Amino acid sequence: MKSFVVLGAGTGGTTIANRMRRRLDDSWNVTVVDPDPIHLYQPALLFIPFGGRTDGAIAHHRARTLRRGIDWIQHEVEGVDPAARRVSLAGGMTLGYDLLVIATGARLRPDLTPGLPQAMARGEAYDFYTLPGAKGLARALDRFKGGRLVLNVVEMPIKCPVAPLEFLFLADDFLRRRGLREKTELVYATPLDAAFTRPVAAERLGHMLEDRGIRVETSFSTGEVDADHRTLRSYDEREVPYDLLVSIPTHGGASFLEGTPLGNELAFVPTDRATLQVKGAAGAFALGDATDVPASKAGSVAHFQAEVLEENLVRAVRGDEPLPLFDGHANCFVESGGGKAMMIDFNYDVEPLPGHLGPFPLLRESRINHLGKLAFRPVYWNALLPGRPLPLPHAVLERRDTA
């Protein structure tokens, strides 16, 4: 019996496991390793600080998300030996594999920023990339009566690069509805030299921030958080005071990848950007937030990567070489407040362009984009995770409508 093993059961890991269980015959075991019993719909976390739902609509038990015929092992991974094709698990258990996919995602590392854990412990700083953080921030915003609200991205890369901007747009709308906007200064402290990484989108999003009176502190490389004086301090000694800090901490890969050839300095997996093969590890591939490819760490990217990876895994089963099929495709709805959103669509080489993606206008705020973002939740649970076909080819240029 041959063994296909997936480490991590987030968006990417669950999708590829479900797809491959359908493609592989009964001579293959399909095993998923993930210690967390709950699968969380992470896009919903953005809305929780502003009163969004926290019920079962955004969280399902892991067993509900995996197809019949997939073995789920609820253990921590302790290491991977690519030469022996063996995975070590907590408790001394080991798994051999013929094909491996590393989809262990990204984890928040507030501990890498001096003073940030203390500020969080005091209730002066929160994240919204975790369920407890988003719930705590909701309570803090409910108590907020004005002052300086600062959103700080400590370091790139991060999950969902547009989420910090979305938070600011929604915070602006939230505070206006509460009559607190004139009493509040909104500040975006980012390590980037513009509002976003892509020049076309950065210009459009920068204008949107300016129109809403949100101050942008660019090229801000956070060195520490002075919790006693409620101040962010950069490595070049600039200071940004805050009354309430919303932090996007440094992200890193899984802890078992640290200090190994399978992890870079932040423990992300060195991955071929086109084939999704793990560099220097035969029979191993990676996808989603776990990789070091220069694409957005976003759910849409994991979906497009899964389509490419499915083909390359099937080729690997046949003994064929993988194909360089992944072009860095990403698309994102960008919530902008007032029941509207913008959409951007791009890849490694193509800038976000105007036009339409189906009914959704690109680089333009609209009501239908907002509704599209809200409607994606049932699509996620019922189509994307189960690995059913979606009408979005993985390569960006296959279906761009710029009319």
pTM, whole model, 2 decimals? 0.95
pLDDT of residue 396: 59
For the 115-250 domain, the top CATH level (class) is: alpha beta
Three-state DSSP class for 13? helix
Stretch(es) of the chain classified as CATH 3.50.50.60: 2-106+253-328, 115-250
Let me know: does 266 contact 158? Beta carbons within 8 Å: no
Angle 314-72-254 from CA coordinates, rounded to 5°: 80
- Distance in angstroms (rounded) separating the CA atoms of residues 27 and 62: 25
Three-state DSSP class for 403? coil
Other beta carbons within 10 Å of 156? 14
Computed over every residue of the chain, the mean pLDDT equals 95
The answer, yes or no, to whether residue 397 has pLDDT greater than 60, is no
- Distance in angstroms (rounded) separating the CA atoms of residues 363 and 348: 18
CATH topology of domain 2-106+253-328: FAD/NAD(P)-binding domain (3.50.50)
Q: Which helix (H) or strand (E) holds 304?
A: helix 299-318
Q: Which helix (H) or strand (E) holds 96?
A: strand 94-96
| AA identity, residue 99 | L
- pLDDT tens digits, 69-110: 999 999 999 999 999 999 999 999 999 999 999 999 999 999
The answer, yes or no, to whether residue 207 has pLDDT greater than 70, is yes
Q: What is the largest CA-CA distance in the chain?
A: 66
Assigned token pair, 73? 């092992």
Three-state DSSP class for 325? coil
- Distance in angstroms (rounded) separating the CA atoms of residues 242 and 260: 38
pLDDT band at 402, cuts 50/70/90? very low
pLDDT of residue 400: 47
- pLDDT tens digits, 215-266: 999 999 999 999 999 999 999 999 999 999 999 999 999 999 999 999 999 9
Strands 86-89 and 94-96, by their bridges, are antiparallel
Report the 3 state secondary structure along 198-238. CHHHHHHHHHHHHHCCCEEECCCCEEEEECCCCEEEECCCC
Strands 59-61 and 70-73, by their bridges, are unpaired
- Distance in angstroms (rounded) separating the CA atoms of residues 278 and 101: 9
Average pLDDT over residues 144-150: 98
- pLDDT tens digits, 272-286: 999 999 999 999 999
